[in-house]
Amino acid sequence: MFRRPGIAHALVPLHCVRLEFSADRPARERLDVYGTPVLLVLDGEGRVLDRVDGFVPPDELAGWLEKNLH
């Protein structure tokens, strides 16, 4: 999904899932996703712990990912 080395490295401990926006309406509604791009951090029960809606510059995104690893 992400090719920049800093971003790809931050994603290593995470399980990334790509949602097909046009095909999975129930998941979009449950996760409150109505536009792209959106990144979500979910807990083991599927509850949204944090989210980023819209484009985020790579350095800011790397910081957001690092924050959500702890």
| Rounded CA separation 70/27 (Å) | 26
**Using alpha carbons only, what angle is made at residue 61 by residues 31 and 20, rounded to the nearest 5 degrees?**
35
Domain ranges of the chain: 5-68
Residue 19, phi-psi category: left (phi > 0), alpha (psi -120 to 50), beta (remainder): beta
pLDDT tens for 23-49 read: 888 988 999 998 889 999 998 898 999
pLDDT confidence of 1, banded at 50, 70, 90? low
Which residue, among 45, 17, 44, 47, has the nearest Cα to 30 in the 3D structure?
A: 47
Question: Cα(63)–Cα(29) distance, rounded to whole angstroms?
Answer: 27
